[in-house]
Structure 1
Amino acid sequence: MKEEIYSEVIEKIIESIDEGIHFINKDGETIIYNNAMAKLEQMDKYDVLNKPFVDVLQSMEIKNSTLLKVLKNKKSIKDNIQKYLNKDGKEITTINTTVPIIVKGELLGVLEISKDMTQIQILSEQILKMKEVKNNKITNHEKVGYKFEDIIGESDTIKKALSISKKASKSDATVLIYGETGTGKELISQSIHYDSKRKQQPFIAQNCAALPESLLEGILFGTVKGGFTGAIDRPGLFEQANQGTILLDEINSMPLQLQAKLLRVLQEGYVRRVGGTKDIPVDVRVIATTNENPRDILNEGKIRKDLYYRLNVIYIEIPPLRERGNDIILLANKFIEKYNKKLDKNIKYISDSGIKELRNHYWQGNVRELENTIYSSMSMMDDEDILTNEMININEYRTNIAENVYVVDVDAKPLDWVVADIEERYINEALDKTNDNVTKAAAILGLCRQNLQYKMKKYNIKRSK
């Protein structure tokens, strides 16, 4: 490839990515400043390019500039959270990686890659505020969340899980719960808490897949003013849950580096806020859940062995709905009762054909999918008082999947590639079916909205909504 064509390709790549790119040479002049960075900082790129960076800083103090710090000491700064005001005075939050570019021992300049995390930071702060408000409202006379009597099921498999869960409520030991998406892991977790001696204290749940590592760390362990640019003094969820219980949902999605910090909290009984030096004692019971088989995540290195054994003091496996026999009908009747009130309907029972339809379905999304199916089906009914198989809205999507047969040469592709390819295709099909409505697509796939958004990001699936 000719040099001028190569340079043009590189320029096109830099301008097409979502992350901000800023490169200054060894003299501190900006040589590269892409559109994403200009949009982030609300700057005209031509007011920045080929000018000394110190002349552009304006409101930001030179001592806080990671570009100038790396230019001076030639040491990389990775995953650094920064808060600062852009040209329009709006506070933005970014995660920056800043590295010196050294070729044959000579410093050519410094490259900074910035990812805009402003909306996610706002969301995380709202989450913390809501949880603080919720915890402050709890009184000794309030019943918050689920208890064991709220769990419906008579099958041997669910009875076994409940038996272990009830014993777990009498202990302070850590608990690891495994169950497919939609089986009721949080319901079991809340039941353990509200049947324990900690029931008058906070129960706080956090999904470990919902936020990037740098923000999740601050949410769990808190932040200290000055710990990073724009940081404020704020207690994390472990401090808020003191003397209560914290649920770490999808622990298999927690980054390994953060798992190490969690392990220290479990072993030593204190937290250290991000950017802080003070150890804060906490008395928190930890319940962790995973929607992947624990043996698999352990073998695949998704969870540290030392953390796994620390969490897995009490192990509870929640059976999938398809293995719970007549519980499917018991639950369906309960949901009919619930949505009769909500939708002002008068469905009296499920026909024999309807029962057969429900029992024959695979229920990939488990109890959550069953509830959504009953809700959807009842919403489409008029004055009927019997739920028949023709009215149960689960056939269409299964038929589409069954017709879309996937054939692959076993010798040609590794298993993880095939599974990922099928998953990506099903996600796109569900989004097509729902006109890009993520909430409805998640219901079809038997996923929570956050999990679907995570998978869409994983496969770089971008939609209009």
Structure 2
Amino acid sequence: MSKAEIILKCLLDNLDEGIHIVDNRGKTIYYNKAMGMVEGLIPSEVIGKRAIELLKGVEEDSSTLMNALKKGEKYIDVIQQYSSNIGKNITAINTTIPVIASEEVIAAIEISKDRTQLRELNEKICRLQGINNIKGRFYTFKDIIGSSEKIRTAITKAMKASLTNSSVLIYGETGCGKELFAQSIHYNGLRKDKAFIDINCAAIPSNLLESMLFGTVKGSFTGAENKRGLFEEAKGGTILLDEINSMDTTLQSKLLRVLQEGYIRPIGSNVLVDIDIRIIATLNEAPEKLIKEGKLRKDFYYRLGVIRIDIPPLRERPQDINELTAQFISFYNKLLGKNIAGIHEEVLDIFLKYSWPGNIRELKNTIEASMNMIDDGPYITREYVEQRLARNFISNGNYTAGMEEFPIEQYLENLEKKIINEALNRYGNNISKTSAYLKISRQNLQYKIKKYNLL
């Protein structure tokens, strides 16, 4: 084996994606460890076997690897649900590429991203949401705390929106309470007795999200069954599309058609299905910025934002901090069995000066953390909140009056940690893609991940 071949094998063996390569007869000539993890097979036992032998119940004409060999066609990001020959059920997003030399297909390569656990988790969440629609805890407008003019304006607009069937777009920074507003609109509205299903668009790949929303028919892709999508399951109810800016523009275009025409076409079907749902969508970045960056279609934004509600960040409603703090202290007194009367005046002064990058969620977590540490005493004092807020202050780079100054080395380390963490989230913790994006080696990235305890 040449040095180039050794280097290439080392690279393929250490990729996070599964790699399966077959020759022109369909026999496996390479199968990496990641692919073995996806299909539950041992790589050394797969070499020499035809791709079809490794699968259960998959015909040759429905195998993307075999079709790539026969037709010389490339298949990009195809959702496949199938079973390996040991009975492991798999959901994967696969890209299959024919290798062509002198106008002849000499091999085919399949790159596989395992989505089995994600599919199972999302199906479980959907089942639980169906139960919660009947028995679970949900939020209404009375749960939204605050008397400032900005929050009252948002509540008034949301209450009016709840009495219509128009689509709603809610914009607010992370931790502002967008889902609380969305649930309040649903449970105060015309559809309150129907399903409310929330989908986190940032957590689900677009191809998988499309099949979840629209449904599938048997044979539309490997392993596909007749399955109703969430648009049909939520008949008469509301679907919350959370962080819709994470959805790719192709799917945005398909959803735009759904909003305009009121019907869907399940994947692989020629039949149109009428639907009756209301869509509420949320954004954690300004839509004008997203449109400019090409992450949000302008026509999709206008169709979604028939009613747009902007939730103010906590730093713009400081007069609500005392009321919110009292509410959280009361909640955690019951939960933790404590008897804290409130916060010290010094703490209130810190709270009013702090910029709250994590908004209400950060305030709530700060109260919870402080109350867990208090052994005795009627008030939350400065010592319990200052260290936590100082740590958040550095990691978010928010220069706020009243906070301590920190060594430049510590600031730079926290800034580096934040950049790496955001990149990892962006690429789904994929080491290869993250290191390429950051323009550092995989080894250096792995060292920094370990150093900052990021995974």
TM range (shorter): 0.7 to 0.9
Specify the code of the residue in structure 1 equivalent to 2:22: I
1:318–1:203 Cα change, 3 Å: same
2:52 and 2:59 in contact (8 A); partners too: no
| Residue 95 of structure 1, aligned match among 82, 85, 93 | 93
Structure 2: runs of 5+ lacking an equivalent: 396-404, 436-444
Q: CA deviation at 1:208?
A: 0.4
Q: Pairwise mapping of residues 361-440 of structure 1 onto structure 2 (< 5 A)?
A: 361-392=354-385, 394-398=388-392, 400-401=394-395, 403=406, 405=408, 425-426=417-418
Give the conservation status (yes or no) of the 8 Å contact 2:54–2:85.
no
Q: Deviations over 1:355-388 (max 9, x none)?
A: 1121121111000000000011001111211122
Deviations 1:177-205, CA, capped at 9 Å, x for gaps: 11100001111111111222222222211
Give yes or no for contact 1:152–1:330 (8 Å, CA) kept in 2. yes
2:229 to 236, 252, 255: 236
User: Does the Cα contact within 8 Å between 2:73 and 2:97 map onto a contact in 1?
Assistant: yes
Structure 1 portions without partners, runs of 5+: 408-417, 430-444, 446-450
The structure-2 alpha-carbon separation of the partners of 1:218 and 1:456, relative to structure 1 and needing over 3 Å to count, comes to closer
Instruction: Provide the rounded CA distance (Å) in 2 between the counterparts of 1:218 and 1:327.
Output: 42
Judge which range, 82-91 or 345-354, deviates more. 82-91
Q: Name the CA distance, whole Å, in 1 between partners of 2:171 and 2:409.
A: 29
Percent identity for Structure 1 against Structure 2: 45
Residue 291 in structure 1 maps to residue 295 in structure 2:
no
AA matched with 1:270: Y
Instruction: Indicate the residue corresponding to 1:349 in structure 2.
Output: 342
Aligned to 1:209, what secondary structure does the other structure show? helix
* Cα distance, 1:246–1:43 mapped onto 2, change above 3 Å: closer
Q: Which amino acid aligns with 1:277?
A: N
**Alignment CA distance shift 1:344-1:76 (3 Å):** same
Cα distance, 1:64 vs structure 2: 2.9
Alpha carbons 2:241, 2:281 under 8 Å: kept = yes
- Pair 1:93–1:281, CA change in 2 (3 A): same
Aligned partners of 1:202, 1:389: CA distance in 2, in Å? 45
**TM-score of the aligned structures, taking structure 2 as reference length:** 0.86
What's the Cα RMSD here?
2.9
Matches within 5 A, 1:242-257: 242-257=235-250
Is 1:19 aligned to residue 22 of structure 2? no
The structure-2 alpha-carbon separation of the partners of 1:32 and 1:128, relative to structure 1 and needing over 3 Å to count, comes to: same
Identify if the C-alpha distance between structure 1 residues 404 and 244 changes in structure 2 by more than 3 Å, giving closer, same or farther.
farther
1:41 corresponds to 2:70: no
Counterpart CA distance in 2 for 1:53 and 1:93 is: 17
Q: Distance between the aligned counterparts of 1:399 and 1:170, measured in 2?
A: 41
Distance 1:96 1:174, change over 3 A: same
Q: Distance in 2 between matches of 1:147 and 1:183?
A: 15
CA distance, structure 1, for counterparts of residue 346 and residue 302 of structure 2: 47
Other structure's SS at 1:326 match: helix
User: What SS does structure 2 have at the residue aligned with 1:403?
Assistant: coil
CA–CA distance in 2 between the matches of 1:404 and 1:74? 59
- Name the CA distance, whole Å, in 2 between partners of 1:14 and 1:96: 16
8 Å Cα contact 2:54/2:84 also seen in 1: no
In structure 2, do the counterparts of structure 1 residues 201 and 336 end up closer, same or farther at CA, with 3 Å as the change threshold? same
**Pair 1:340-2:343 in alignment:** no
Contact 1:355–1:389 (CA under 8 A) maintained in structure 2:
no
Which position in structure 1 is the counterpart of 2:149?
A: 156
How many corresponding residue pairs?
427
Q: Deviations over 1:41-81 (max 9, x none)?
A: 33343333345545655764323322111111111122222
**In the alignment, what sits opposite 1:75?**
73
What amino acid is the match of 1:202? A
CA distance in 1 between partners of 2:245 and 2:290 (Å): 7
Question: Residue in 2 aligned with 1:457?
Answer: 429
Mark the CA change 1:77 to 1:399 in structure 2 (over 3 Å): closer, same or farther.
closer
Matched with 2:297 is 304
